[in-house]
Structure 1
Amino acid sequence: MFHFIVNPSSRSGKGKTLWNLIERQLKEHHINYKVHFTKYEYHAIKLVQEICQEKGEKTIVALGGDGTVSEVVNGITDFDNVKFGYIPTGSSNDFARGLGLPTRFKKALDCILFSNKTKEIDVGTLDFGNDETQKFGVSCRIGFDGAVCAEAYSSPIKNFLNRIHMGFLNYTVIAFKNIFTYKVAKLTVTYDDTDTRVYDQCVMLSALNGPCEGGGLRLAPHANPFDQYLDVFVLNTNNKIKILTFFPLAYLGIHRALDYFDEVDIVRCKKLHIHSDVPLPVHRDGESCKYRTEMTVSLQQMKLKVCVPN
């Protein structure tokens, strides 16, 4: 059984229109399916939890952006019996970009319906203590990146850029606006319980499961969602000119190659613990996790089976 989780408001409300085209294909090929429309924030989590209570194998397909993917991943309670398909309709689509999945809906749908191939990818977890945990597929971020994502999620700029098919620039435009106002913070990070590093002018920290976030920012170009490691990116500087220069180079994935960016630290690990003296904005896959001072990031044991092209 194919279960489609559809975010009708994705791509500035065109998600519903795209679903109508997809449904026509499903009926044409006599596919057994159910559609579930999200009606409010985090609704997909509840829908997927209910689907997972059904016995037997099932394929859950997300039609939306990275936020919809994140909600679906957080709703899965039975990773053994779930295959995950993705039809990207968001402005960033970093999940699809990082895995090399089709981004055109017809090719993405064909991959889900007719490919018999899946790949098992790592799933990240955020532990805030007091039994509060969340999952992520692309990345989690603290600091400047989290603040930008919080604004980018609801910004009218996002809707405008989506209308002119340039939604991928949403993050960059808002990041540029915030560069000159964001205040750096001190972070103490312990990697794999053994390596403690202090970043006294931390702009942002991202723990990545894949190479891209923020609409194509290649913060950790060699990050691999299949290798059971997280790639952690840290930018530690209060030099506004360097921060301003950093973003275009990050889109090209060459920021680490320049001596100019000694302030960039990239660490591969299985777990990291983060402490901040002041509350900082945290995001996972573009979804807000509020302001936090303490959290542990790791990978869960269960992997996500993703439909990929043959």
Structure 2
Amino acid sequence: MQVLFIVNEAAGNGKGKKVWRQLQRHLTIDYQVVFTEYEGHGQRLAQLWAQYAQTKKLFVIVGGDGTIHEVVSGVVHNEYIVIGVVPAGSGNDFARYFTTFQNAIQIEAYIQGNMSSLSMDAGTIQLGELQHEIFVNNAGVGFDAFVTKYINKSRLKFYLNKIGLGKLSYAAAVVKGLFSFERFDVTILANNQQWQFKQTWFVAISNHPYFGGGMKISPCSKPNDEKIELTIVHGISRLKLLLVFITVFFGKHTKFKEITFLQGNAFEILLQSQHIDCHTDGNYIGEIGQGMNIHCAVQREAWQVVAEETNNIISQ
């Protein structure tokens, strides 16, 4: 099996570079390596290296959730590419559910073994008539995307990463954003049914349980069940929302009456407000205006991920 490492040295405020250097020192297999240089480069590199594949290739991503999002976006529905990950981001939500590599020994043992892989779904989100994105973990409309935009613009994540607390950047941004975000009304359509929600904080669209550095926002989500889940937080005070976010880390938020869960294979989200932020896998993708609709769905068996060996050589 050919092995390509796709490395984001800037992931986790430089953690990607440190992880790669440590990993590289212990690799004894033949491999190739490329480095991402700008936002979106991971997708371009993955497309380039995957386009002529005629046999199985292992793409090992050294980076965080954003880099994983880019690479998977570049190889969807390519039967020859298997995705492996060495976590090197600040939140690493992908690694909380999927099998990942922790060192060179595990990578080499995988290649020398039966190289098991599993097919996974991908979520899709389309903003209006134009922008179309996939997501591996989750997408979001509203407060969670607002927080993502704030993190990307501020230096908060940079400084928390410096002191080894990068996973707290999302939680810290939530607290700061609680007092400036404007709630909105939303209508959701699916299978000839309609739901209306007032004073909505956000709609999280999940293919995977975790977001925001360990928050178990969608406990029932499975990335291979051909479904996506919506978590709608609505009609709740700012103070109570803070309590909800604390309980999300333990998956206990499901008991709040102000949180609604929907499951299906496709949804239409109609907004009654202007300038609502959106994200995919923690990457801010822009705003959607009043009267525009968001279409989200699932693509079944869209990509392949390494599977845990029976002798537990790979950690999960």
SS class of match (1:300) = strand
- Asked if structure 1 preserves the Cα contact closer than 8 Å seen for 2:210 and 2:218, the reply is yes
One-letter amino acid of the structure 2 residue matched with residue 98 of structure 1: Y
Kindly state the Cα deviation for residue 113 of structure 1 after the two structures are TM-superposed: 3.6
> Which has a greater percent of helix?
1
Distance change >3 Å, CA 302–CA 226, structure 1 → 2: closer
Distance 1:164 1:108 in 2: 28
Q: Which residue of 1 aligns with 2:165?
A: 166
One-letter amino acid of the structure 2 residue matched with residue 164 of structure 1: I
- Asked if structure 2 preserves the Cα contact closer than 8 Å seen for 1:187 and 1:200, the reply is yes
Distance 1:60 1:104 in 2: 15
- Whether 1:282 aligns to 2:260 is no
- Whether 1:209 aligns to 2:210 is no
- Asked if structure 2 preserves the Cα contact closer than 8 Å seen for 1:48 and 1:72, the reply is yes
Distance 1:186 1:198 in 2: 8
- Whether 1:23 aligns to 2:19 is no
- Asked if structure 2 preserves the Cα contact closer than 8 Å seen for 1:205 and 1:234, the reply is yes
Deviations 1:148-176 (A, max 9, x none): 01122343221222222221111000001
How many residue pairs get matched? 302
Distance 1:103 1:7 in 2: 16
SS class of match (2:159) = helix
Deviations 1:183-234 (A, max 9, x none): 100111112x322111111101101111110111111112111211111101
- Asked if structure 1 preserves the Cα contact closer than 8 Å seen for 2:15 and 2:89, the reply is no
The structure 1 residue matched to 2:261, chosen from 246, 251, 266, is 266
The 5 Å alignment of 1:99-248 reads 99=98, 101-102=99-100, 104-106=102-104, 109-110=107-108, 113-114=111-112, 116-130=115-129, 132-191=131-190, 193-248=191-246
- Asked if structure 2 preserves the Cα contact closer than 8 Å seen for 1:62 and 1:85, the reply is yes
Identity value in percent: 28
SS class of match (1:86) = strand
One-letter amino acid of the structure 2 residue matched with residue 199 of structure 1: F
Distance 1:72 1:15 in 2: 15
Distance change >3 Å, CA 238–CA 289, structure 1 → 2: same
Distance 2:66 2:270 in 1: 25
Larger deviation: 15-24 or 166-175?
A: 15-24
Deviations 1:43-65 (A, max 9, x none): 11111111122232211121111
Unaligned runs of 5+ in 1: none
Larger deviation: 127-136 or 144-153?
A: 127-136
Distance change >3 Å, CA 236–CA 110, structure 1 → 2: farther
Larger deviation: 4-13 or 122-131?
A: 122-131
- Asked if structure 2 preserves the Cα contact closer than 8 Å seen for 1:102 and 1:108, the reply is no
Distance 2:278 2:106 in 1: 31
SS class of match (2:275) = strand
Distance 2:202 2:64 in 1: 23
Distance 1:11 1:288 in 2: 17
- Asked if structure 1 preserves the Cα contact closer than 8 Å seen for 2:77 and 2:302, the reply is no
- Asked if structure 2 preserves the Cα contact closer than 8 Å seen for 1:153 and 1:286, the reply is no
One-letter amino acid of the structure 2 residue matched with residue 286 of structure 1: G
Distance 1:106 1:59 in 2: 14
Unaligned runs of 5+ in 2: 310-316
Distance 1:34 1:103 in 2: 17
Kindly state the Cα deviation for residue 98 of structure 1 after the two structures are TM-superposed: 2.1
SS class of match (1:301) = strand
Distance 1:238 1:248 in 2: 15
SS class of match (1:246) = helix
Q: Which residue of 1 aligns with 2:287?
A: 291
- Whether 1:75 aligns to 2:55 is no
SS class of match (1:62) = strand
Larger deviation: 67-76 or 158-167?
A: 158-167
Q: Which runs of 4+ in 1 moved over 3 A?
A: 102-115, 129-132
TM-score (norm 1): 0.92
Kindly state the Cα deviation for residue 102 of structure 1 after the two structures are TM-superposed: 3.9
Kindly state the Cα deviation for residue 250 of structure 1 after the two structures are TM-superposed: 0.7
TM-score (norm 2): 0.90
- Asked if structure 2 preserves the Cα contact closer than 8 Å seen for 1:161 and 1:167, the reply is yes
